[in-house]
Structure 1
Amino acid sequence: MKNYLCTIVCLFLFVHLVTAQKKNTDYRLHIKKTNHPVKIDGIGDDRAWQDAEVATDFFRVLPMDDGLATEQSAIKMTYDDKNLYLLATFYNATEANYFVESLRRDFSFGRNDNFLLFLDPFNNQTTGFSFGSNAFGAQWDGTMFDGSRIDLNWDSKWISEVTRDDDKWVFEMAVPFKSIRYEAGVTEWGINFSRLDLKSSEKSSWTPIPRQFPTAALAYTGTLVWDAPPPAPGTNFSIIPYVLGEVNRDLEANEDTKTIGKIGGDIKFSLTSSLNLDLTVNPDFSQVEVDRQITNLDRFELFFPERRQFFLENGDLFANFGYETIRPFFSRRIGLGVPIQAGARVSGNLNEKWRMGLMDMQTAAVDETGLPSQNFGVLSLQRKVFGRSNIGLMVVNKQSINYPSENDSINAQYAKYNRNLGMEYNLASSNNIWNGKVFILKSLAPDEIGRGIAQGAHLEYSSRKWNWRLQQEWVSNDYTAEVGFVPRRNYVNFTGKLGHLFFPKTGPIVSHGPELNVTWFFNEAFRETDHLAYMLYRFDFRNRSNAFFFLSDDYVELLDPFDPTRLGIAELATGTKHQWNAFGWEYQSKPQSLFTYSLGGRVGGYYQDGNRTSLTTELGYRFQPYVSLSANLNYNHIDLPAPWNTNEFWLIGAEADITFTNKIFFANLVQYNEQTGNMNLNSRFQWRYSPASDLFLVYTNNYFVTPFETRNWGLTLKFTYWLNN
């Protein structure tokens, strides 16, 4: 393992020697202050736009990065003392209708004609902000992290309008300087613009970007050059109170109907132009979108993403340490069935090199279970090194308050504390072709069993034709992360991937090629316990549909008893060994059609020399731009020897998303899960009557499937308002 880590470190140093400078530095857009008013109407005939410099001559990124875009675009920007303004005009060389999914905020990128702005105010090529719209005016905003990823759960105050005709569509927006974070006195920001035009199946960018990377890649931004430093935002102070009324009943627990009233809210305070303090008192997250159910045939805990607004701004500082299955901090552990009393976060950029995240949350005690009140503290520091890489440090502390020191049953059930210390190095080359990570974590607990180590490293190479990745992980048996997500312990893992693409010059296929993936799991004595190897062949079509097929080989030695159906029938014994092969496929239709679909599945072996067939379908139809209908169907047929015999179960989800305007939304989701015997309904009405201010009406109901009767239901009315100075 030491030799492996030394090799990784040497490769990281080599990458820095051969890639050192930001690309696209010659693409510069000058922005000048205006003294004229700007009316946000999607027309763009104000005097302020006449003297603004124009960014044009966009480059094609998809289907091939081989020259200027067919569908041309023109961008202008200006500003005044309060707002940053943008005017974008998108010309139509191809005659066809516009394609949009709905007026839903934070729309699905690949299913809409759209425009996106990417801002890198700190020029670190890893973090920033994204704003945009589809062709019918649905807004998009999010925070950027990891160089190209966007968290769309973040919302901010800004306004925009869109107009359309046969020849073009026009997007105009105003973003208050108070709605974003930036370093005072800096006159150059990283910036790029992206357009997706579905009628021509063309994605384009103001700066040239290799097709293997998203247009959100901050490594390929140009430069926004200010005629003077943007206005210092001064003290930015916001209060976001809420008032809530709720009626609910838990019939499963045989409880009476309850009526609840709550008040609380958040406070946002800018400590500097780039560092923000967030406070929350008695928070409520009843309006948050419900989790999508999935069929669970996995031996380990499943991951569901964080959706609560308070945890999201600069969320990568807290949530991205380690790997997806080795997280020392996972915010959904806080407030899981326990009321949060209050919390505070300080997050953002200390300067050009340093970022910081500091969080403290306090939960209440639960008398029924004996759970003491608990405090959750997190510190995350990040230091930029070289061009786009960084070194990170994290400390996580979970501490029980008013702990009953002489109560042995409580002591055994709820540890007095659990702590994690971690350090990592994130590699990102200037051209984005090389990426990697090395990290180590140490857990601390009252007992020896909780004082362990987790460690991981990987290096990845991505060119137009070749993609490979090498990864290694180690989680000791005594490593614990009670505020993290680490579903598996006591293993060493080695993973490899190698893929290649071919590019036909003509025909319906834009690229195709094989991809080999292998992963081995060993225990800490280096005895193999699992492996998975599969060969995949993918096809990407010029109309943006895609398909792949795979063959796989699985081997599992069970480390704990496991029911392969998860229906509670019986369990396979620890130490039993299982091997099987499978064939699978998936096809996704082109997004331009009003009716869209995907078809997937796998057939092959399963545990105990059994067989499993799994079929998955997603169907969608839209009455654009107001109604989007979708359905998800998953069917599993499992044949095993007695006592399991033959079992089959469905997971069905149906959704109706009605967007009356780009400010009034009505979403309805019904899910039927035969495996868990549950059916649930969630209806959510949202009226954004003012920027970042909402009225929610949410109805939820959970049912037993057999017999079909209500388990619990609730109706919530919530009012929020964003007040700022």
Structure 2
Amino acid sequence: MKHLLLLPLCFLTIFVFAQKKNSGYQLHIHKTSLPIKIDGELNEQAWKDAAVADNFFMVLPMDTSHAKVKTSVRMTYDAQNIYIIAVCYLTKQAPYMVESLRRDFSFGKNDNFIFFIDPFDDRTNGFTFGANAAGAQWDGSLYSGGSADLSWDNKWISVVKNYPDKWIFEAAIPFKTIRYKKGITQWGINFSRLDIKEAEKSSWTPIPRQFPTASLAYTGTLIWDEAPPEAGANISVIPYVLGGLTKDYDAKKPTTYRKDIGADAKIALSSSLNLDLTVNPDFSQVEVDKQVTNLDRYELFFPEKRQFFLENADLFANFGYTNIRPFFSRRIGLGVPISYGARLSGSIDKNWRIGVMDMKTKSQDATGLPAQNFTVLALQRRLFARSNIRFMFVNKQSVNYQPGKDSTKPVYSLYNRNLGIEYNLASVNNAFTGKAMMLKSFSPGKSTGDFVHAANLLYTGKKWMLAWQHEIVGKSYNAEVGYVPRNNYIKINPQIGYNFFPNRKGK
């Protein structure tokens, strides 16, 4: 009986603390003092001296052999940049397949080369860069073990050059562009290639075909000959001045003038911790939302695109579920001018991440909306190999406001607060993922029915997919700074799936 009781404990120990899957795949990167010109040509001595990553594995349509389409990758660095060059060979001379030249193109509709870096080697967060065969860039931040936020855009340069038998991607990524911890000499790394003509997706390290090549659980290791250099002073300030005048001649009204001034600033406190500041922001440069037709009774969710809110956005935005979000940054400044704000986010070390934000909006006399202060605290602690536990506190407070004092104006809440904790499960091989969370809201006059509990567990195998999810949202739960389209419901959603792979012999 004692031996039987020890079996689950042994299984849990292996499940939680197992070694990184592809730790044996290593690429050594060495510092160079030789010049490198980003031109898509493999002719510099620095590239001839660099180690090569090749012999890629096929991921799709099969994951049991090496890739038919050959790819080779080299990396080096100097005091300012990380350099990478990828030679993407062709099996036959034919036009490359490209759908679009827009940034962050659709992955499955373009011949492309993309790579993924995990600067903390925690198999949870990182960055992705790449390009399609026509040179359109792709970049984003990685979170939750391999999900990509392509709204994150940053400064780096790349060139793609086409040849009859290959195309070459070459890039320089400044150390100031990414976040990493000082002194770490091993990063997670992987390279992905998609060739539509051959209908083949490949990866430097072997990845089961049920997972995307962005899965950080399956990265290899980038070994530095010495610790990457410190990024140094990294401060950027973007000021603006806006003026204008308006006059209604028909109504014979006096001229009204517009005089606005403001600025955004980004300050790297360290190579892994960033401070964003804003005063009277304009956000006029932000890309517009896609036009969507809403056919149900609930409001639509539009992702955040304002740069101020994007870095380490997963710390704030990915707490909860798709329709249970205690914090949604687009609630701040929604039709209301922002006075100022500060946002500290990033990694303290390999185990701890922190996000703190405080913002103040202006009052509006026409609607009686008071000035409001928004405070958010997010804290994440890594557990075991790839799992983590998170804590979040969200506070919305009306400033110098007495509800109902002016009977001619709408009544707004004096405050709304949310307190939550969640555990995110991710197994070493990514086969098991899941989440369990508890939330409680605090609002004037409400003390019961203001809880949320939700949990899910997903098993993803080569053929079987098993999932369980349940959500319990109380009738009085209120997240004024979140995205919760409805409350007072219980949802149970079990799923089971089976993948059939035809076994057809070749021609």
TM-score, length-normalised on structure 2?
0.93
Do the aligned partners of residues 86 and 258 (structure 1) sit closer, same or farther apart at CA in structure 2, a change above 3 Å counting?
farther
For the residues of structure 1 that align with 2:247 and 2:417, how far apart are their CA atoms?
37
1:18 match? 15
Q: Which amino acid aligns with 1:70?
A: K
**Match runs of 1:505-654 below 5 Å:** 505-506=503-504
What CA deviation, in whole Å up to 9, does each residue of 1:145-187 have, x standing for no partner? Answer: 0111111111111111111011000111111111111010110
Q: Which amino acid aligns with 2:189?
A: I
Offset at residue 333 of structure 1 (A): 0.6
Kept in 2, the 8 Å contact 1:459–1:469? The answer is yes
SS in 2 for 1:136: coil
Q: In the alignment, which of 481, 484, 498 is matched to residue 482 of structure 2?
A: 484
1:656 match? none
SS in 2 for 1:316: helix
1:313 match? 311
What CA deviation, in whole Å up to 9, does each residue of 1:36-83 have, x standing for no partner? Answer: 111111113112111100000011111111211111101000001111
What CA deviation, in whole Å up to 9, does each residue of 1:468-499 have, x standing for no partner? Answer: 11011111111100000111111111111110
What CA deviation, in whole Å up to 9, does each residue of 1:511-533 have, x standing for no partner? Answer: xxxxxxxxxxxxxxxxxxxxxxx
Kept in 1, the 8 Å contact 2:154–2:177? The answer is yes
For the residues of structure 1 that align with 2:361 and 2:383, how far apart are their CA atoms?
37
Q: In the alignment, which of 463, 466, 476 is matched to residue 464 of structure 2?
A: 466
1:551 match? none
Do the aligned partners of residues 242 and 204 (structure 1) sit closer, same or farther apart at CA in structure 2, a change above 3 Å counting?
farther
Tell me, yes or no, if structure 1 residue 445 matches structure 2 residue 443. yes
Q: Which amino acid aligns with 2:28?
A: H
Do the aligned partners of residues 134 and 425 (structure 1) sit closer, same or farther apart at CA in structure 2, a change above 3 Å counting?
same
For the residues of structure 1 that align with 2:9 and 2:145, how far apart are their CA atoms?
17
Kept in 2, the 8 Å contact 1:158–1:174? The answer is yes
Q: Which amino acid aligns with 1:266?
A: D
Identity score, percent:
59
For the residues of structure 2 that align with 1:306 and 1:247, how far apart are their CA atoms?
31
What CA deviation, in whole Å up to 9, does each residue of 1:405-443 have, x standing for no partner? Answer: 661648972111100000000000010000000000011
What CA deviation, in whole Å up to 9, does each residue of 1:119-169 have, x standing for no partner? Answer: 100111110011111111111111110111111111111111111011000
2:387 match? 389
1:90 match? 88
Q: Which amino acid aligns with 1:87?
A: I
Q: In the alignment, which of 89, 110, 113 is matched to residue 112 of structure 1?
A: 110
Offset at residue 377 of structure 1 (A): 0.6
Do the aligned partners of residues 55 and 422 (structure 1) sit closer, same or farther apart at CA in structure 2, a change above 3 Å counting?
same
1:199 match? 197
What CA deviation, in whole Å up to 9, does each residue of 1:268-310 have, x standing for no partner? Answer: 1111210000111222223323222333232322222112111
1:518 match? none
**Match runs of 1:19-168 below 5 Å:** 20-168=18-166
1:501 match? 499
For the residues of structure 2 that align with 1:158 and 1:353, how far apart are their CA atoms?
28
Do the aligned partners of residues 450 and 320 (structure 1) sit closer, same or farther apart at CA in structure 2, a change above 3 Å counting?
farther
SS in 2 for 1:200: coil
Kept in 2, the 8 Å contact 1:449–1:479? The answer is no
Q: Where does structure 1 differ by over 6 angstroms across 4 or more consecutive aligned residues?
A: 11-14, 245-250, 255-259
What CA deviation, in whole Å up to 9, does each residue of 1:339-378 have, x standing for no partner? Answer: 1121111000010100011111111101100000111110
1:239 match? 237
For the residues of structure 1 that align with 2:142 and 2:408, how far apart are their CA atoms?
42
Q: Which amino acid aligns with 2:319?
A: F
For the residues of structure 2 that align with 1:71 and 1:360, how far apart are their CA atoms?
50
2:293 match? 295
Do the aligned partners of residues 12 and 80 (structure 1) sit closer, same or farther apart at CA in structure 2, a change above 3 Å counting?
farther
For the residues of structure 2 that align with 1:296 and 1:70, how far apart are their CA atoms?
45
What CA deviation, in whole Å up to 9, does each residue of 1:570-592 have, x standing for no partner? Answer: xxxxxxxxxxxxxxxxxxxxxxx
SS in 1 for 2:419: strand
Kept in 1, the 8 Å contact 2:367–2:409? The answer is no
1:351 match? 349
TM-score, length-normalised on structure 1?
0.65
For the residues of structure 1 that align with 2:239 and 2:165, how far apart are their CA atoms?
44
Q: Which amino acid aligns with 2:464?
A: W
For the residues of structure 2 that align with 1:420 and 1:351, how far apart are their CA atoms?
27
For the residues of structure 2 that align with 1:171 and 1:74, how far apart are their CA atoms?
11
Q: Which amino acid aligns with 2:354?
A: M
Q: Which moved more, 1:60-69 or 1:346-355?
A: 60-69
Offset at residue 234 of structure 1 (A): 2.5
Kept in 2, the 8 Å contact 1:94–1:200? The answer is no
For the residues of structure 2 that align with 1:85 and 1:475, how far apart are their CA atoms?
49
For the residues of structure 2 that align with 1:475 and 1:505, how far apart are their CA atoms?
46
What CA deviation, in whole Å up to 9, does each residue of 1:298-341 have, x standing for no partner? Answer: 23222221121111110000001111111100111111110112
Do the aligned partners of residues 338 and 72 (structure 1) sit closer, same or farther apart at CA in structure 2, a change above 3 Å counting?
same
For the residues of structure 1 that align with 2:38 and 2:420, how far apart are their CA atoms?
47
Q: Which amino acid aligns with 1:18?
A: F
What CA deviation, in whole Å up to 9, does each residue of 1:171-207 have, x standing for no partner? Answer: 1111111111101011000000001111111111000
Offset at residue 450 of structure 1 (A): 7.8
Unaligned 5+ residue runs, structure 1?
1-10, 509-725
For the residues of structure 2 that align with 1:371 and 1:12, how far apart are their CA atoms?
56
Do the aligned partners of residues 74 and 444 (structure 1) sit closer, same or farther apart at CA in structure 2, a change above 3 Å counting?
same
Q: In the alignment, which of 416, 419, 423 is matched to residue 417 of structure 2?
A: 419
Offset at residue 102 of structure 1 (A): 2.5
Kept in 1, the 8 Å contact 2:367–2:410? The answer is no
Do the aligned partners of residues 276 and 72 (structure 1) sit closer, same or farther apart at CA in structure 2, a change above 3 Å counting?
same
Unaligned 5+ residue runs, structure 2?
1-7
CA-based RMSD of the aligned residues comes to 2.4
2:213 match? 215
SS in 2 for 1:48: helix
Offset at residue 259 of structure 1 (A): 7.5
For the residues of structure 1 that align with 2:257 and 2:56, how far apart are their CA atoms?
57
For the residues of structure 1 that align with 2:151 and 2:338, how far apart are their CA atoms?
20
For the residues of structure 1 that align with 2:466 and 2:230, how far apart are their CA atoms?
45
For the residues of structure 1 that align with 2:344 and 2:225, how far apart are their CA atoms?
31
Kept in 1, the 8 Å contact 2:403–2:411? The answer is no
Q: Which amino acid aligns with 2:191?
A: F
1:596 match? none
Structure with greater proportional strand content: 1
2:5 match? none
1:185 match? 183
1:174 match? 172
Q: Which moved more, 1:36-45 or 1:239-248?
A: 239-248
- Size of the aligned set, in residue pairs, is 494
Do the aligned partners of residues 89 and 448 (structure 1) sit closer, same or farther apart at CA in structure 2, a change above 3 Å counting?
same
Q: Which moved more, 1:403-412 or 1:332-341?
A: 403-412
For the residues of structure 1 that align with 2:462 and 2:229, how far apart are their CA atoms?
41
Kept in 1, the 8 Å contact 2:380–2:388? The answer is yes
What CA deviation, in whole Å up to 9, does each residue of 1:235-293 have, x standing for no partner? Answer: 3212123455679999xxxx999885644332111112100001112222233232223
Q: Which amino acid aligns with 1:104?
A: R
